[in-house]
Every structure is written in C-alpha cells, then in structure tokens.
Chains A and B, each alone.
Chain A
Amino acid sequence: MAHIPICSRAAVAAVLIVAFAGCDPIVSFSRITLNTPLTAQETDFIQPKMTTFVQIVEQLGPPNELKGTPEGAVAVYYFLDGKRTRVNYTAPAHVVQAFIPDLVVSVWGVGVDQLTIWFDDRWVARDYGFAFNRKIGQFRLLPTREAEK
C-alpha cells in the first residue's frame, strides 16, 4: 500500500474542511432561557396564612407579574426554557455533490414553568402552586419522537 506523507494527509484534511466551511452544518442545537427556574425546595418556606409578600420577595426576589384580585393579589414568577434541534440529513452528501437538495428537520419546544402565589387583602400568602410544562422543551433529532415524560 502506497504511503501517504503526513503533510499530504493534513493538506487533504484542510481542503475538506474548507470545502465544508461554506456548507450548512449537519446539526444545530439552540437554547433560550428566561430567568432561573425555582424548585419546590426553594418555596418550602412559604406557609399559607403566615408568610408575607415581603418575606417571599426577600427569598425569591420580586415576581415577574402582580395582579389584583377581589380577594387580594396574585404574584407570578415565570421561567421559560426553549430548545431547538435542527438537522440537515443530506449535508454530508454535499461533499460529493453540491446540488443535492437539503433535507432539513427542525424540532423545537418551549417549556414554561410558573409559580403562582395568592395573597389575601393583608399581603399574606393564602396559597401557592407550580405549573410545570418544561418537559416539552427537549432536544430531539426527529419530529416523530414525542418528548420524554
């Protein structure tokens, strides 16, 4: 078998890399997050009919939204986690034939967590609860695959 000099191999690698450089990447992973998620442990200190709005803000920071209700007020903390996977399944074939059509598959999902705290008319917590919808925000290579529960 003929020996290929090391510098020639590097040159071939460089040429291939330059040839690929103008091409669409095969896989892209993108993520966007809004604020830092709170966990159930971080809200354990909230005692209904005891913990005040100021005490909650001292621990968790101010809410993202505050609304008035007939019974008092509602504070809402939002956390968003969006993930997108994009795969061009024919990108590798562009090395041998530049005019092969792209076969691009993109899967994205935005999960939103929400902590809602209800207050009475004296700004004392009445109740609180989480809404977890972050499972939908997952990296997936195929759109036919459901998000893992």
Chain B
Amino acid sequence: MDRHRMGARTGPSDSPAWAVAASWLLAGLSAAMSLTACTFVRGGIGDEFTTDQLAVIQKGTSTRADVVAALGAPDRVVEANGHEVFQYYRYDIKSTSLFLILVNFSRTNIKSDDLFVFVNKNGIVDEMVFGKRTKDMEFRVWPFGD
C-alpha cells in the first residue's frame, strides 16, 4: 500500500499541506487567545485650559474679577508675599493594561497642568505662570524602567 497516496504520515517533514495549514491556523489562534484582553482607560480631573482663557489674563492690567470671569473660581487660594495666589489645576490620566494568560501588565500615568495667577493688594494681576505637563503623556503598558 502506498502510504503517501493515502495521506498517512511518517514524520513532520512529510505532512500533507492541509495539516501544515491547519497547524499554522491553530498556532495563530493559540497566539491570539493568549492575548486575552487589553484595556485603555482615560480619565481626567478639571477642564483643559484654552489659549483663549489664558489670553484674557494680562499682567499689570487684568483684575481679580477678569481672572475669575475667564477661569472660574480658583481651585486653591494662597496668601504669599503680599500676593493672593490663585491656583488652577487639571489632571490627565492614561492607563493601559495587558492581560495575558500567565502574566498581567498595567501602567497608569498621571500628570497635571498647573496655572498660578498672582494678584497684588490692588487686585491687579502681577504675574501668571502656566505649565502643561500633560501634552507629551502617552499610553504605556510596560511597567518597568522609567
């Protein structure tokens, strides 16, 4: 009996084409199923500061009322060196999780944008500082390293 003509196999090297294709298909399915889930989560606290809002605040001319009209009530008010310091902040949160069969990886990054407005005793803005730390924040899943 001709074993090759009947599709019987004596080793991997003489497997029929359909068996090789099926094994690759199963291997692919196995690999796909080993990645059981992946999640992306985005969160935030506070509204983003717009350029229009920031443009309203001018050193030496804007008043306390102008600041509050543009940005709303501050998140925090501090008295320092004869200034009333208005602090506004927002937080951006990006979280990624990779759920594999045997191991899970998860990473959550949080960064803040902070705006400080220094109002003098006459109610006029003396200084304004703004930092946007959230602009270069990415979704990252690898929890090791920096």
**What residues make up the interface of A, taking CB atoms closer than 8 Å to B?**
3, 5-7, 9-11, 13-14, 17-18, 20-21, 23, 25-36, 54, 57, 61-69, 72-73, 80, 83, 119, 121-123, 139
- Is the CB of B4 closer than 8 A to any CB of chain A? no
CB atoms of B111 and A34 under 8 A apart? yes
Asked if residues B78 and A68 are in contact (CB atoms below 8 Å), the reply is yes
**Is chain B's binding surface mostly helix, strand, loop or mixed?**
strand
20 additional A-B residue pairs with CB within 8 Å, beyond A35-B133, A67-B78, A139-B143: A3-B9, A13-B27, A13-B30, A14-B33, A17-B33, A21-B36, A21-B101, A23-B101, A27-B102, A27-B104, A29-B104, A30-B106, A30-B107, A31-B143, A33-B110, A54-B127, A64-B112, A66-B78, A68-B80, A123-B81
Which residue of chain B lies nearest to A74 when distances are taken between CB atoms in the complex?
B80
- Residues on B with C-beta less than 8 A from A10 are 22-23, 26-27, 30
B130, closest chain A residue (CB): A62
Stretch of B12-20, B50-58, B63-71 that contacts chain A:
B12-20
A122 touching B116, Cβ below 8 Å: no
Asked if B40 is an interface residue, CB under 8 A from chain A, the answer is no
CB of A57 within 8 A of CB of B129, answer: yes
- The 8 Å CB contact of A62, one of B27, B106, B116, is B116
Please tell me if B38 contacts chain A, counting CB pairs below 8 Å.
no
Q: In the complex where A29-B104, A57-B129 touch, is A21 in contact with B143 (Cβ < 8 A)? A: no
Residues of B within 8 A of A (CB): 9-12, 15, 19-20, 22-23, 26-27, 29-30, 33-34, 36, 78-82, 85, 87, 89, 99-112, 114-116, 127, 129-131, 133, 143-144
User: What would 15 A/B residue contacts be, using CB atoms closer than 8 Å?
Assistant: A5-B15, A7-B22, A13-B27, A17-B33, A29-B103, A29-B104, A29-B144, A30-B107, A34-B111, A35-B111, A62-B131, A68-B79, A68-B80, A73-B80, A139-B143
Contact: B129 with A54, CB < 8 Å? yes
Contact A28 B30 (CB under 8 A): no
Given contacts A121-B81, A122-B81, contact A26 B110 (CB under 8 A): no
Q: Are the C-beta atoms of B81 and A61 separated by less than 8 Å?
A: no
Contact B114–A64 (Cβ < 8 Å): yes
Which residue on A lies nearest to B84, using beta carbons?
A68
